[in-house]
Amino acid sequence: MASLQTSPTLHRTLFQNSFPQKHGSSSSSSSTFRRREGISFIVKAEQELSSSSTDISGRRQAIAIAATAPLVFLFNQSSISFAADNKSGFQPVVDRKDGYQFVYPFGWQEVVIEGQDKVFKDVIEPLENVSVTMIPTSKQDIKEFGSPEQVAATLIKKVLAPPNQKTKIIQATEREIDGKAYYQFEFVAQAPNYTRHALSAVSIGNGKFYTLTTGANERRWGKMKDRLNTIVESFQLFKV
- Per-domain residue ranges for the chain? 6-237
β-pair type (208-217, 129-136):
antiparallel
Give pLDDT tens digits for 30-39: 343 333 344 3
pLDDT for 17 equals 52
Specify the higher pLDDT residue, 177 or 76.
Answer: 177
pLDDT for 125 equals 95
Strand partners, 43: none
pLDDT for 31 equals 40
Look at the domain 6-237 and name its fold. Answer: Protein Transport Mog1p; Chain A (3.40.1000)
pLDDT for 8 equals 42
Looking at the predicted structure, is the pLDDT value of residue 106 above 70?
Answer: yes
Calculate the CA dihedral of residues 133, 237, 228, 105 and round it to 10 degrees. 90
Of 45, 8, 12, 11, nearest to 215 (Cα)? 45
Measured distance CA(162)–CA(200) in Å, rounded:
16
Give pLDDT tens digits for 146-182: 999 999 999 999 999 998 999 999 999 999 999 999 9
| Burial (CB count <10 Å: 0-12, 13-18, 19+), residue 168 | exposed
pLDDT for 41 equals 38
Which of 8-12, 40-44, 83-87, 230-234 bottoms out in mean pLDDT, i.e. has the lowest?
Answer: 40-44
Measured distance CA(216)–CA(213) in Å, rounded:
11
Measured distance CA(148)–CA(153) in Å, rounded:
9
| Burial (CB count <10 Å: 0-12, 13-18, 19+), residue 227 | middle
pLDDT for 87 equals 75
- Residue 32 CB: number of other CB atoms within 10 A? 8
